[in-house]
């Protein structure tokens, strides 16, 4: 996951609607079913999906009252914490 991408997607969600990102996630997930995709291509799609889910989670936290900076830091802290375990 890349924080700048999650931040950019969070801005997109604020300016538009979360539904656009959720539909893009569904589309990318459908593409992963193509049997001829190479591992590298699947990795890129997976990274995009992860970043999009991260932005959705950050958006959820900001709607619950966190500042965007706090939400981004909390989300990345959770991600890094889960990697360390």
Number of domains in the chain: 1
* pLDDT for res 84: 58
Q: Which domain holds residue 75?
A: 3-84
CA distances from 56 to 59, 68, 80 (A): 5, 12, 18
* Alpha helix positions (H), the chain: 3-15, 18-31, 39-63, 68-84
* pLDDT for res 85: 56
- Mark the ranges of the chain whose per-residue pLDDT is less than 70: 81-85
Rounded to two decimals, what is the model's pTM?
A: 0.88
* pLDDT for res 78: 82
Return d(Cα 56, Cα 5) in angstroms, integer: 12
């Amino acid at each position: 996951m890349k924080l700048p991408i999650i931040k950019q997607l969070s801005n997109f969600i604020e300016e538009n609607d979360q539904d656009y990102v959720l539909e893009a996630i569904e589309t990318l997930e459908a593409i992963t079913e193509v049997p001829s995709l190479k591992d590298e291509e699947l990795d890129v799609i997976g990274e995009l999906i992860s970043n999009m889910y991260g932005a959705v989670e950050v958006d959820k936290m900001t709607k619950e009252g966190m500042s965007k900076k706090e939400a981004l830091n909390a989300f990345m802290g959770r991600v890094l914490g889960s990697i360390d375990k």
